[in-house]
A and B are shown apart, each in its own frame.
Chain A
Amino acid sequence: MKAPLNWLKDFVDINVGIKEYVNAMTMSGSKVEGVEDLGEGIEKVVVGRILEMEAHPNADRLKVCKVDVGSEVLQIVTGAPNVKTGDLIPLALVGAKLPGGQIKASKLRGVESYGMMCSIEEMNLSRDYLPDAPEDGVYVFSEELKPGTDIKEALHLDQVVEFEITSNRPDCLSVYGLARETAVTLGVPLKKPDIRVKEEAGGNASDHVTIEIENPELCPRYSARIVTDVKIEPSPYWMQHRLAAAGMRPINNIVDITNYVMLELGQPMHAFDFSCLTDSKIVVRTAREGEILKTLDGQERKLDTSMLVIADSQRPVGIAGVMGGENSEVTDQTRMLLLESANFNGASIRVTSKKLGIRSEASGRFEKGLDPENTIKALDRCAELIELLGAGKVVRGIVDCNMTRKRQDTIKLDPDRINALLGTDIPAEKMIEIFRALEFEVDPNTMMMKIPSFRSDIESVADLSEEVARFYDYNNIKPSLLSGKESMRGRKSYKQRMEDVIRNTMCACGMNEAFTFSFTSPGVFDKINLPADHPLRKAVVISNPLGEDYSIMRTTTLPDMLRVLSINYSRKIETARLFELSSVYHPVDGEELPEEKSVLTLGMYGVGCDFFELKGVVEELMTAMGITSYEFKPEREEPSFHPGRTASLMVIKSDGTQLKAGILGEIHPEVAEKTECPERTYAALFEVAVLIDASSHSRKFKALPRFPAVPRDIAVVVRDEVYVADLMKAIVKAGGEILEDVSLFDVYKGSQVPEGMKSTAFALSFRSADRTLKDEEVNTAMEKILKSLEYQFDARLR
């Protein structure tokens, strides 16, 4: 809400500097977004009247003028093509300051000039503010003004304060409402307007029009006045300038008056050309199926039966609270008016304006729920202004259809409860003072208060506490720290601690944490080679997305990780190692909400990155999470991954069953190409819940060995397709309990080994916890191991 300072001053004395005012208002709850000084940078520019105009002796395009500036007549040379004798123009005097610089006396082609006629651009004024300014040339006043008048006064160049008004305070969407807040904030009286209407036209309003409300729950009140002898013309400068400063475009005197009243009192108004109302009737009803109305903006609007319209006996003439119809618009030919001042149900207006895509100043106010008591005051103010401007004659009386339901209008002031909630010690008298300033009627004996009709937001002691606190100043409340309350133990859940373990381990393994968007494009499934019937293609769809690219909730994080890798790759970053801990969203049949699963995603490419590097990171994670029973199985079925370079991570439950925790591997070359990732790109995806279920926080100390270990190596030749993991399992089994450790140290294929075979070499370590092992014991174990390998895998000792 933009409020010109001088308009506010019609209702309250603001006797502090603008900075102090703005700060005080912000701290009492009317947040100031900014102050615009329309006359900023303009000094010593006055109204001048061109008395004479002659051709310049030395230049065809220049003219030499005599300009009356009140105190004297100055010689001015101008090149403006649009001025003539008798015009009133803005004249920058010698020494004047303009946003572009200072004005000096100068000679133009040999003729002295003692000032400069100004265009709006030279004064840095906007065309929105002065729509009548010529596209090219000096501004010419269209209203009679006294030469010498300061331009700021002539053009009402005010300071405009922009307030942020919260949705609970529609009363502050008005200059008067803000003046009320100002008065309480500054502790000065509010000057209540004294509205007087002469009602000089003959007859009674009720003789002219009948009003019917068919849906009182959607329109609790409809008040109207009739104006005759209407003369449409531009409104005076002061009104135009105030409207423009507040951000509204001046149109004509009648429309401007209705807008002016809306801005001043917060009650949207509408003027109908009375001659257009069939049967002189206003019916407030919901639209009929198939009704169409062309609104003031020239658009055909299809109405539905949920929308409230203002109709005459035949047809809609306006969409209630949203926008008037072209069929009853005020035009230059309008001679008689119906002025509407009504109250509508906020939610209904909001739905209608959303459905039609129209947000107007009126709908923005109505939807917040306005004060039904305000309709009459606004009508009277409107009538007063019409008389003041000579825009028409007001017919006696108001046709008022009031079906407002009575609402809670009293509340008890309980200072103890307010102080208890705030943690303050504010005296009751101080509270009463605040509420009286806010126009509550307080009975100091019963402490009952009458809530003003414009404060429908006040319902409970909490609301009263806020009123007290904001004028006491929140920052005067003494800080405390839940003293005297039961102390509580702060802690993370097991799951949260495990998530910390995951993040820390990833970082320790050189993986950098990424954050990606959780919505994505349905096109990503093709990029990662998911078949058309793949279950991951079933996603939660956003009904109003920012665009196709952000239109579904992701069911897999792989495309996002690949996109991040590809961005880095495209920027010539040699190596990227990333992880993300985030959610995927799977629709569940018969459930309203999808299942949100936490997923750990890893991705890497570049120096040192290969399958076993990735697997090493995963193995570290298993250790860190205390997951001891797991194995990696070759995985050939994942369409996004290289079938020969991908494994599933299986966690083994206590009953021996295996659960797939995720996959890791090289990205399928086709997917790498489609996602613009390097050829060797590695990724892994794990379901965090499965990992956490298998994890353990407890660690048990194992005594350090006291007897020496006996190291042995064994190398066997086996067929290519024998898995090292199976060989190792067999070794462990055959080695018995004295086999302490086994590790692979070499795999060899080549000239020494027959085609289709490989040599695998393992380092074994034997140790007993209670004695030094004898060579014979170890030899026996080694023999058993070799036998087992020979038997199971047809292995040959190398």
Chain B
Amino acid sequence: MNIGGTAKTSSYGRSCFFVRAYYALVLEVAGLNIQNYIVGVFVLKQQLESIQKKALEKLETITDIRELEDFRVAYLGKKGELTGILKGMGALSPEERPLIGQLANEVRNALEEGISTTRGRLLRAAREEKIRQETLDVTMPGRAKKLGRKHPITIVLDEIKDIFLGMGYEIAEGPEVELDYFNFEALNMPKNHPARDTQDTFYITEDVLLRTHTSPVQARYMKDHKPPIRIICPGRVYRSDAVDATHSPIFHQVEGLVVDKGVTMGDLIGTLQVFAKGVFGEDTRIRLRPHHFNFTEPSAEVDVSCWGCGGTGCRICKGEGWIEILGAGMVHPNVLREGGIDPDVYSGFAFGLGIDRIAMGKFGIDDMRLLFENDIRFLRQF
């Protein structure tokens, strides 16, 4: 044992109580013959300091956590070197005990601190090693969760709904297989009216058809509701057009209807401006051209400044700078009357727009057929 050897080399003592203290210590710790260890407190102190120095040096060399644990046991464990000294304190006189006790505690604290520091050092090193080993190639692809996507028409429709919900509109719905009455007659287009020719119609019977626009929802809504009315009516509509890159016999529209006292054409224009900026961006301008619809008067076709060039003219707008997106106007007095609303008291505006074309424009889709083909590679682009 180290401690024994060290004691042997000490050859003198300061006072007898140190001797006795040491005697007791050695008895306890090492079980050696006390006759051979007659040394003074001074020697004990020196020995403690020596233990500390040696131990701290040893700590420096420790490189793994198991070794550190062995070290701790060897010094501070139940049978450890320092513990032995502390246990033997009982043999000291009451005067000697605090002195050596304090010193021993200082050594113990120094060792504990050293162990703790070393443990920190080792843990850090181990963590760094672990980190080094588990470094990933972060440029490898992620494990995609593959969310599904909404159809581009739904995306555009959702945007449009948000804009109008924010302006106090409700969303009304109506049937796609519709009565001729609501699709045409209630909208000021009696049977055999030439305006019907602009809407190539699929008929089921003479009086039942596939609605050619979402406007019949206006007519239905007015029958059931009193002004003030603010609605949009999104939905699927049908026209007898053969399928090609720019035509589809089935497409989607949003209709808007406002009826109240004192509604003006200025209100229509302001509303359409909010809509156009909301869908196409803040810099968008609109332009109204006079047109004719049987169910509105005055009527307008509405262009937005081209989303491709902003109005200077490009391939998308065929050099015009404008793209036609919707039809609008002040609700025709006959239509109000048919809906049970007095046109001398109330006025209103209505508008209708094609969602499919807007979606195509917004996303740069060049073939309408893609919208209904549902190729996954198409759908996942939006």
Contact = CB atoms under 8 A, between A and B. Distances in A.
Nearest to A493: B171
A29 B297 CA distance: 13
B262 A485 contact: yes
Contact of A515 (B148, B273, B372): B372
B122 interface: no
Central interface residue in A515, A577, A585, by most chain B CB within 10 Å: A515
A346 B194 contact: yes
A477 B230 contact: no
B266 A510 contact: no
Interface in B336-382: 347, 371-377, 379-380
Interface in B76-112: none
A373 B23 CA distance: 145
B17 interface: no
B3 to A, nearest CB: 51
B376 A490 contact: no
B194 A367 contact: yes
A421 B228 contact: no
Contacts of A578: 374, 376, 379
A544 B212 CA distance: 14
A508 B147 contact: yes
B289 A27 contact: yes
Contacts of B42: none
Contact of B168 (A169, A489, A596): A489
Contacts of B187: none
Interface in B41-94: none
Contact of A543 (B147, B203, B269, B299): B203
A512 B260 contact: no
Contacts of A167: 193-195, 197-198, 292
Given A466-B290, A515-B371, A579-B148, A488 B230 contact: yes
A722 to B, nearest CB: 35
Consensus secondary structure, chain B interface: mixed
A594 B230 CA distance: 28
B274 interface: yes
Contact of B250 (A490, A509, A518, A540): A518
Given A421-B264, A544-B203, A513 B148 contact: yes
Nearest to A585: B177
Contact of A507 (B150, B170, B205, B291): B150
Contacts of B291: 29, 31, 166
A351 B297 contact: no
A573 B375 CA distance: 9
A488 B148 contact: no
Interface string A497-528: 00000010011111111111111000000000
Interface string B227-253: 010100000101010110000011000
A462 B333 contact: yes
B298 A492 contact: no
B19 interface: no
Nearest to A457: B292
B177 A465 contact: no
B293 to A, nearest CB: 8
Contacts of A489: 168
Contact of A503 (B150, B167, B170, B333): B150
Contact of A470 (B145, B147, B267, B298): B298
Contacts of B147: 507-508, 510
Interface in B143-191: 145-151, 153-154, 161, 164-171, 175-179, 191
Contacts of A482: 258, 260, 263, 267, 270-271
B254 interface: no
A546 B203 CA distance: 11
A423 B349 CA distance: 12
A518 B243 CA distance: 14
Given A460-B297, A543-B203, A567-B375, A481 B197 contact: no
Contacts of B274: 481
Contacts of B148: 506-513, 577, 579
Contacts of A166: 291-292
Nearest to B242: A546
Interface in B290-332: 290-292, 294, 297-301, 330, 332
Given A513-B150, A568-B374, A368 B194 contact: yes
Given A479-B273, A515-B374, A596-B177, A543 B230 contact: no
A641 to B, nearest CB: 21
B192 interface: yes
A796 to B, nearest CB: 41
A486 B274 CA distance: 19
Given A26-B289, A508-B148, A592-B208, A462 B330 contact: yes
A463 B292 CA distance: 11
A236 interface: no
B119 interface: no
Contacts of A422: 264-266, 298
A590 to B, nearest CB: 14
Contact of B202 (A368, A480, A488, A544): A544
B121 interface: no
B204 interface: yes
Contact of B374 (A460, A514, A592): A514
Contacts of B264: 420-423, 480
Contact of B262 (A420, A519, A568): A420
B151 to A, nearest CB: 4
B372 A423 contact: no
B296 to A, nearest CB: 9
A40 B292 CA distance: 33
A567 B249 contact: no
A50 B176 CA distance: 70
A790 to B, nearest CB: 43
A423 B267 contact: yes
Nearest to B201: A544
B214 to A, nearest CB: 14
B325 to A, nearest CB: 15
Nearest to B377: A573
Contacts of A496: 171
B177 A515 contact: no
Contacts of A575: 376
Contacts of B198: 167
A188 interface: no
Contact of B372 (A477, A478, A511, A517): A517
A541 interface: yes
A629 interface: no
Nearest to B265: A422
Given A27-B289, A167-B292, A517-B372, A487 B168 contact: yes
A564 B374 contact: yes
Nearest to B155: A513
A542 interface: yes
22 contacts: A28-B290, A167-B198, A346-B194, A347-B192, A421-B330, A421-B347, A462-B332, A465-B297, A466-B299, A481-B274, A482-B263, A486-B228, A490-B164, A492-B161, A512-B148, A515-B153, A542-B203, A567-B373, A577-B148, A583-B176, A585-B177, A592-B207
Given A482-B270, A567-B374, 17 more contacts: A31-B301, A423-B266, A460-B333, A463-B297, A479-B270, A487-B168, A490-B164, A490-B167, A491-B165, A496-B171, A508-B147, A512-B374, A513-B150, A515-B374, A517-B249, A543-B204, A546-B242
Q: Which 5 A-B pairs have the closest CB atoms?
A: A423-B266, A423-B264, A29-B290, A466-B298, A166-B292
Interface of B: 145-151, 153-154, 161, 164-171, 175-179, 191-195, 197-198, 202-205, 207-208, 210, 228, 230, 236, 238, 240, 242-243, 249-250, 258, 260-267, 269-271, 273-274, 287-292, 294, 297-301, 330, 332-333, 347, 371-377, 379-380
Interface of A: 26-29, 31, 166-169, 346-347, 350-351, 367-368, 420-424, 460-463, 465-466, 469-470, 474-475, 477-493, 496, 503, 506-519, 540-546, 550, 553, 564, 567-568, 571, 573, 575-579, 583, 585, 592-594, 596
